[in-house]
Every structure is written in C-alpha cells, then in structure tokens.
Structure 1
Amino acid sequence: MARDFRVILVGHAISPIRGSEPGVTWNWAWELSQHVPVEVFAFPQYRKEVEEHLAENPNPRLKIRWVTLRGFDPWRPEKGERGIRLHYLLWLREAYKVIRELTASTDGPVVVHHVSWGSVSAPPSIPQGLAAVWGPVGGGQAAPWAFRGFFGREWLGEAVRAFRVKALPYLPWWRQGVASVSRILVTNRETEVLLRKAGARNVLPFLDCGTPKGFGLSKPPNPKGERVSPLRLLWAGRLEARKALPLALRALARLQVPVELWVAGDGPLRADWEAEARRLGLEDRVRFFGRVPWVQMQELFRSTDAFIFTSLRDSFGCVVLEAMAFGLPVIVPDHQGVGTFVPNEAGIKVPVTTPEDTIGGFARAIEHMALDQEARNRMALAAWRFAQEERWDKRAERMLNIYEELLHDAHCHL
C-alpha cells in the first residue's frame, strides 16, 4: 500500500552494528524506510559505522542528518559518560531547532517520531502543529521498597532516582513536553501511570525491543521428551544490584529437583554473587560464564531449557525477548515491562511482594519447569510465537499504522 507521507526520526545515537539505543534507532530507521522516506536526526558518534554500512547497502529512502552542538559540549564520548545528560538536553534543543526550520519550509504530510533516548525523564519539544510520536519510553518504574536490602549501599541512589521520577508530573516543563506529543508509546504500566498523572491521554503500550528477521529459531520449537539430565536454566545480564541474581540463587537453594543455573554476564557484583552461590552450597549447580560474546550467547540460548529474569528495575529487558525467540519459556517477575508484555501462556510470572514470598515464588516456578515437560513445551511455543510478532519488520508495520491514524486525525481537525 502506497503511503504519501515522510517520517522524521529523532535518535541521538544510531548504528547498524550495535545494540541498545544506537541499535533501536537504526532498526526503526531501516525498517520504516522500506515503506516511506525517513530522515534521521542523530549525533555523529557512530557516523563512520553508519556511512560504511550505507555505502555497502544503499538506501535512497534513508537520509541521516548529523547534528552537533555549536560551541560548548560538556560530553566527550571517548572519556565515558561524564556530562552526557547535559549534552543530551543541549543536543535535543539544537535538533528540534533544525526540525522546526525544516518543517516550516517544506510541504507534505510529516510525522516526527522521537525514538531515542527512550527515557520518560527527557520529553521532546515537538514543533506545534506536527503529528508526533514519542517512544517507546520507559523509566517510570522503580525498585520495590521491600527489596532495598538487595541494593546495599546503592539503595540511596535508587531512592533518589525514585523520588525524582515521582516528581516529574509536577514539573511544568515536563508537563509541557508531554502535552506536545500526539501519541506516547510506553514499555510498562508504571510509566503509563506516571504519564497519565501529567494529563497524557493518547498512551499506548508498545515494546521497546525487537528481533531482526531470521533471528532465533526459524520454525516453531519441537516438543521435547523427558529430559535425563537436569533442567538447564539460563540467566543473562549485567551483574549489578538492580538485576538481583540472588533471587534466583536463593530460590535454587530451596529445591531438591535437579536444576542447573547458567549465568552469562559480568559486572561489579560478580565476585560477591559467586561467593553467595558457594555460601548456599550451589557450587555444582551454578555456572558463571562471565561476559559472553554475542555468537556464543546464541549457543547458550540453544543449549538451555528455560530462561529466568530477576530484575527489580527494568523497562522491559530485551534479553527476555531474545530468549523467547529461541523458544525458551521464561520465569519473570510480575511487574514492570515483563509483567506488562510477557504473555501468561509463555512462562510463569512471579508476584513481587516481599523478598521471602518472591523467592518462594521463583522456587515453585523453577520446580514446575523442571517437573512438567508438557507444560514447558506449551510455554516454549507461546514464547516463540510472541517473539515472532516482535520482529522489527512487523513492528515497523504497526508503527506505520499509528502514523496513518495520527495524520488522519490531524486532517479531520483542520
């Protein structure tokens, strides 16, 4: 179907060979440009990677506008993240200044879509009169107070962050930014509630993660027979406080059924959590792999039976979707992004109440996965099907439908 509009994407970082924010911006740009002209406003941190890719894969519908700060810039990418937040706010102001000039001097339907950063704390400043989308955004979630003991000395920072997020709806500049957007896409219930407190109306749930076409299993997972060896359970992520790996370790320590836990990732708490596994008597049941290259990570997905996610604060957790693409049933907390999006039939959602009860919930979920192969097969199929619907090409089609609705609404109000 022919579409006669163009899209302006605002994404601070963009790269065809990276994950996180750069990868999100790139995937939106590339997939949307298969259907409509797309112009991306980005900071040139990864300009070489983008231009090399486009030289090898020309795309006449995709144009990149590199926006830099004139004069003072508090951030030096080669020196880490110091100053990046102020840099980003200054960069946003510069990017939208150029967008205002561009849209004022051109004709034809335009949709402005702010994709990155996907943080609820930094709303865009959309030029008046333009159809605009913000998101998917997260950040409205907070770590549960009852679990503060899992954070140690980091809890003060978590508490300050939670207070700052709760204060957002009372800040005039934030409310003004929220009001400038026609549609806001959110990655979890907590962020939706926060935005609605500021008066946002057109808020839609929309996952911030996607998988490339051909990623994971190409066909539905085959039903498995009874396992002879222990259930292989995979956990993956950065070993930092908010990821709360000890929830899985303490759950495993309560079980007598044969289960192995494979841990992929590195971080500041690796030594502490390895020591906790030894303290719990899990030396023979928990295997720490350290940081795993992406190709080897895919092999871990293929070599395990189920995936467990324990994060106490996350917009969603893209590794959950990646595991589902490989047909792994999942065990997740029933809160935030995973609680919002993971289908009930694709895994087990554990209520987040108190540490004691939640650890017990994880233990029961692991035991169920280990003992009921038939149920695990059903969950594996549902997980794979969900991941197929979150392929980037299908996500782009859904986004184009949102754009068309916006433009239709704008036309009806003229």
Structure 2
Amino acid sequence: MISVLINAYACAPNMGSEPGMAWNWVINLAKYCKVIVITEGEWQKEIEAAVKELPQGTNLTFHYNPVSVEIRKMCWNQGDWRFYKHYKKWQFKTYQIAQEILKTNKIDVLHQLNMIGFREPGYLWKITNVPLIWGPVDAKQKFPVAYLNGADLKTKLFINLKNRITYLQLKHSKRLRIAVKNASVVVSASTNSQTSFNRFFGINSPLLNETGCYIQEHKIVDKTNKKNLDLLWVGKLDFRKQLPIAIQTLKEINNEDIVLHIVGGGDDLAYKSLAKSIGIENQCKWYGLIKHSEVQQLMQKCDLFFFTSVAEGTPHVVLESISNNLPVLCFNTCGQGDSINENVGIKIELSNPEQSSIHFAKKIKDLFNNREKLELLSNNCKQRQIELSWDLKAKNMIKLYNESLKK
C-alpha cells in the first residue's frame, strides 16, 4: 500500500465547498492507501472525532498548521485579496512541515490538493525526490463578461480587473510555471482548466472534477401526469449565479403551469422586484436559506434542476441533484458542463443573458410537453451517480499516483 502526503488547507467533515471537498478526497483515498494530511487547524476537533468513526481511519493521519482567527475571516470573505499574502506564508510553512514528515516517514507521493485555485501552487514542488500530483486545479481563464449585465459598477470593475490579473498570472507567474514543470501530473478540475493548461503551459492535463457524489437510493416518483412543471433553482443570490436569467426564462415561456422554486441566501429584493415587474411573481416561490435536508426534499419533489451559474468550480449542488434523480438544465461550462451529459440533463452554450433566456425557454417548453423524456433523464441518474462517485474518483486518483511512480 502506497503512502501519500496531502496538502489540504481547508478540510473538514460535514461541510460543503473546499473543506468538504478535501475531506471526501482524503477519506476515500484512505480506502486504498496510507494518507498523511497537513491542514489548517480550524476543524481539528471535528476531524479527530470523525476519523475515529471511519473503518479506514487507521490509514489517516493529520498534522495541523493553524492560522489566526483574523486570517480565517479573510479566507471566508471571498474576494478579500489580503488573504493570499497569509496563504502563501501558510503554504511555505506547510512545505517545511512536509520536509520534517519526510525525515521519519516513507512517502511515495506528494499531493497538492486544495485550495483548488491555480494562483497559489504551494511549495511541495521544491521537494524533488518524491513525485508530486497537483490538483484538481481550477484554472479558468476568465469570467464571461457578457453576463455582467445588471451588475453594479464596482462588480464590473472588479471582475474585469480579476480577468486581467488571471491572464497575466497564467502567462507570466514564475512560481506557477515552476510548479507545473516540477509536478509529475497536473490534474484539471474542468475542461476549461484543461484548455488553460494546454494554452499557457503546453501540457495535456487529465480531467478529474474536484467533487463527487455518494450513491443514494431514492424511489423515482412518477411525475408524467402532473399539470405543473416544477423547476428548482438553488444558489447564493449573487451575480455569478445569474438568477435573473431563470426569472426572464419564465417570462419567455409564458406558461403559468411552470413554477420556479428559488432557494438561497442573500438580498432577494431586486430579484423579487424583477419577477413582479415582468408579471411572473405568482410563478416564483421563495424559500430563502433553508436546511440542507429540506433542499434534498425539494429535489425529490421537483421535475428539473435549473442551474444558471456561469462561474463555478464543480458545483456540489449539481451532483446532489443527480443523487436525487433530478435532471439538470445548465450552461455547458465549468464543472457542471463536465458532470452533466445527455443522459441526465440538457446544456446550452454561453452567449449573453438575453439569448440564454430564449435558449433555456425552448428547452423547458420541450420538456413540459414531453414528460416521458424527463422521466428517462431521471431514471438515468443512478448510472451517472456511479460514474461521478467519490469511490471511482479516488480509484482514478490512485491510478495517477501509480503512474507517477513509474516516471
């Protein structure tokens, strides 16, 4: 059994986003290899309690490199660029901790796991006598600026600046270039990322989306004779998620038997005002921020998951939809574009908000009149769960580990 040292800044049980993603990677990898993890110490108690309950817990060892409460607040305040200075220091100290671990442990493979953003590749690449896997890495080139319509001036300036910085970093960052060169394998979190690594670094990066799903058993309810078509929208109420497109799509369809269920935290006044101004407020049901279990129940009751985000990694909520046998309608971009295929959903290409509403409306009209197609998509979700499962992803990562040992 090989031994792997994993750098995972954010790692915690029973959480979503980066902490939950890293946790699911390490506990599933631990079924097949010895795993030593260096992580930040915010969830040390939760980690140690959870490891004791795992059958593979004896294959897991954690080392902690904690930061201050102030730095943690910067981390979770997305968009706070001050965090990167502290995160870079954390990565260098983690590299030093890794060096100490190597003195007393036989390590076969190093793995730079998260955060998944390409901007901070860490320093494990400085250890040249052990093969390094980096990824899955999110290296999208830019936010699609056509979808900034309706954003305030500050947001537009921020996104355009970020797009420019992203380009310059991908093209000119010396440490990024060295990290890519020294890694045995760089794993892409999306097709968009594969394109970036090929364009800027001339490498073919294997695709392995950063998040997976657990296979679930849910009875598929016959919905073919329903009068209504229930659409479910879930997400944070910010411009990246593009809720106005979903609202405008209902206006474009012009069918009162189609209902949009909207779940998410944030200021909803502008969105409710938009729905009222175009006369579809009675077709919108607002839930606000609700319990995870309640979201799962809605997924099992609704007919279609309507996911309008244009800037993501691999959204876990999309995989949850598949786990609940709920077909997905989304853009063909980011991780959702890789996760959804023609067997479990429908995708449209990026264009602009107005055209997107028209294209989405056409797809929904077709499904409204063809409930048998929706039922088929729902029935296919079980197979897609297997293909996107954490266990299969762990096995694919183990293959990359073994391939790196042969180089």
State TM-score, norm by structure 1: 0.90
Structure-1 residue corresponding to 2:148: 148
| Whole-angstrom CA distance in 2 between matches of 1:228 and 1:212 | 29
Whole-Å Cα distance in 2 between the matches of residues 292 and 225 of structure 1?
A: 25
Q: How far does the alpha carbon of each residue in 1:4-39 deviate from its partner, in whole angstroms, 9 at most, with x for none?
A: 310111100211121111111111111111221110
- 391, 398, 403: which is aligned to 2:389? 391
Distance in 2 (CA, whole Å) between partners of 1:317 and 1:53 is 24
Which residue of 2 is the match for residue 100 of structure 1? Answer: 99
Does the residue aligned with 1:338 lie in a helix, a strand or coil? helix
Alignment of 1:305-320 (within 5 A): 305-320=303-318
Which ranges in structure 1 are unaligned for 5 or more consecutive residues? none
Taking the aligned partners of 1:181 and 1:75, their CA distance within structure 2 comes to: 32
* Distance in 2 of aligned mates of 1:273 and 1:398: 42
Question: Could you tell me which residue of structure 2 aligns to residue 33 of structure 1?
Answer: 30
Relative to structure 1, the CA distance from residue 297 to residue 279 in structure 2 (aligned partners, 3 Å threshold; closer, same or farther) is: same
CA distance in 1, matches of 2:242, 2:141: 16
Is the CA contact (8 Å cut-off) linking 2:188 and 2:206 kept in structure 1?
Answer: yes
Aligned residues: 397
2:398 corresponds in structure 1 to 400
1:50 aligns to what? 47
1: distance between equivalents of 2:364 and 2:152? 26
What's the offset of the Cα at 1:238? 0.2
Once the two structures are TM-superposed, the CA of residue 129 in structure 1 deviates from its matched residue by 2.9
CA distance in structure 1 between the aligned counterparts of 2:368 and 2:200, rounded to whole angstroms = 45
SS at match of 1:45: coil
> Which residue of the other structure, out of 172, 176, 197, is the alignment partner of 1:174?
176
**CA RMSD of superposed structures (Å):** 2.1
Aligned residue in 1 for 2:195: 193
Change (3 A) 1:22 1:143: same
8 Å contact 1:136–1:186 — kept in the other structure? yes
Are 1:163 and 2:164 an aligned pair?
A: yes
The whole-number CA distance in structure 1 between the counterparts of 2:139 and 2:341 is 21
What is the deviation of 1:316? Answer: 2.6
- Secondary structure in 1 matching 2:260: strand
Structure 2 counterpart of 1:261? 260
Q: Which runs of 5+ in 2 are unaligned?
A: none
Determine helix, strand or coil for the equivalent of 1:205: coil
Q: Is the 8 A contact 1:277 1:283 kept in 2?
A: yes
Contact 1:111 1:131 in 2 (8 A): yes
**What SS does the aligned partner of 2:347 have?**
strand
TM-aligned CA distance change 1:74 to 1:62, over 3 Å: closer
Same amino acid, percent of matched pairs: 24
Aligned to 2:290: 292
SS in 2 for 1:345: coil
Counterparts of 2:202 and 2:69 in 1: how far apart (Å)? 32
Q: Could you say which residue in structure 1 is the equivalent of 2:242?
A: 244
Secondary structure in 2 matching 1:166: helix
**Does the 8 Å CA contact 2:339/2:388 hold for their aligned counterparts?**
no
Instruction: Using the TM superposition, name which of 277-286 and 347-356 deviates more.
Output: 347-356
Contact kept, 8 Å, 1:316 with 1:336, in 2: the verdict is: yes
Contact 2:236–2:264 (Cα < 8 Å) also in 1: yes
Give the Cα–Cα distance (whole angstroms) in 2 for the partners of residues 290 and 340 of structure 1.
28
2:174 and 2:162 map into 1 onto residues whose CA distance is 19
Larger CA deviation: 373-382 vs 35-44: 373-382
Alignment of 1:65-76 (within 5 A): 65-68=63-66, 75-76=70-71
CA distance, structure 2, for counterparts of residue 314 and residue 25 of structure 1 = 17
> What amino acid sits opposite 2:21 in the alignment?
V
**Quick one: which of 16, 19, 22 aligns to 2:19?**
22
User: Relative to structure 2, which stretch is displaced further, 238-247 or 15-24?
Assistant: 15-24
Distance 1:124 1:196, change over 3 A: farther
- In structure 2, the residue corresponding to 1:212 is in which secondary structure? coil
Instruction: Check the 8 A contact 2:215/2:323 in 1, yes or no.
Output: no
Match of 1:118 in 2: 116
Contact kept? 1:182, 1:202, Cα under 8 Å: no
